[in-house]
Structure 1
């Protein structure tokens, strides 16, 4: 429900076009992620934990470079990766924290788009407790039409939980989606959409607002 197949194709094409013309190392990384779809940036964030070979919750340059290649970002050469690392390493420590890494590649989301994301979050938060849980989703949506429920592979709760995992913190899904996590997901989606009107229309269609 987050993005339709048509919207995914649009995002990927926009990212490919942006990657070809961009001269910014950070933008190139952002577009390379988004060429893998709306979850590309989030997927790279999830991979951060895998890249972190020594468990320090930070990445040195070797871990960063190897992690990008392991994630499949072969569009980026060593020089571009070195430029990305240098630009992200704001304090010159030779290490990247998870937060500075993800925030930088996610990019900003303007006030107009934020308002639509907040509206969608409020609609999903049926219990009005500031977070989205399986109980909220159960009140709003019927899982009986999900293919995996119909095939008997998943229970109703498993369908809802997988839905929540799409928005949950990468590498640490807990079945509870906060407003920040929801905003993080759509900040990634927003990064490859230039037009506010298209983004807002997509949100209204996705969440029937």
Structure 2
């Protein structure tokens, strides 16, 4: 692959090849050498070297990829940025839009997380517990669901579906 091709596409394909979407947390932890749940530029580059990406795309493309992953320009890539960069693009634009729309309805307080409090008006305690159990396992198990965790779930189950099947499924899961 030439250095001018999209480095995120290559990173995504290498990580999927090496362990699929379930391997994202593992890959992130392997790259996060100091275990601070953020990737420095050096950790990111070293991690990509280990899976053979740097030699394939070159240092400039790795630098571009780092900037693309670092959504908040903090100089570090946190797990949410890592997963968002690699997972949401796997969905079509229509699917991403639908996932964001549904998540926005669930996130009643606008905190960018769906919590038990957000869900109380639409689910009973057992349903909330099941929801958190199912969706919270997509990333950190912290009792709240981020857009990235929500999207990762639908990316995983929606992969074999047509867009129409995906739309029907998400509408069935979250009727208005």
How would you bin the TM-score normalised by the shorter chain? Answer: 0.5 to 0.7
Question: What's the counterpart of residue 197 of structure 1?
Answer: 164
For residue 82 of structure 1, the aligned residue among 43, 52, 57 is 52
Question: What's the counterpart of residue 27 of structure 1?
Answer: 13
Contact 1:161 1:175 survives alignment (8 Å): yes
Across the aligned residues of Structure 1 and Structure 2, the Cα RMSD in angstroms comes to: 4.2
SS in 1 for 2:52: helix
Contact 2:91 2:155 survives alignment (8 Å): yes
Contact 1:164 1:175 survives alignment (8 Å): no
1:105-159 per-position Cα deviation (integer Å, ceiling 9, x unaligned)? 323533321232133224423xx21241112223322344x7xxxxxxxxxx765
Question: What's the counterpart of residue 91 of structure 1?
Answer: 62
Matched, 1:176 2:144: yes
TM-score between both structures, scaled by the size of structure 2: 0.54
Query: What is the 5 A alignment of 1:36-115?
Result: 41=21, 43-51=22-30, 52-55=32-35, 57=39, 58-61=43-46, 65=50, 81-83=51-53, 86-87=56-57, 90-91=61-62, 97=77, 102-103=83-84, 105-106=86-87, 107-115=89-97
Relative contact order, CA 8 A, sep 6+: which one is greater? 1
How many Å separate the matches in 1 of 2:117 and 2:84? Answer: 30
Contact 1:137 1:160 survives alignment (8 Å): no
1:35-87 per-position Cα deviation (integer Å, ceiling 9, x unaligned)? xxxxxx2x33322453123347234546874xxxxxxxxxxxxxxx3148744
How many Å separate the matches in 2 of 1:121 and 1:175? Answer: 16
Q: 1:180 to 1:105 in 2, by over 3 A?
A: closer
Residue segments in structure 1 that go unaligned for 5+ positions in a row: 1-23, 35-40, 66-80, 147-156
Aligned length: 146
Contact 1:113 1:196 survives alignment (8 Å): yes
TM-score between both structures, scaled by the size of structure 1: 0.48
Displacement of 1:98: 5.2
Residue segments in structure 2 that go unaligned for 5+ positions in a row: 1-9, 70-76
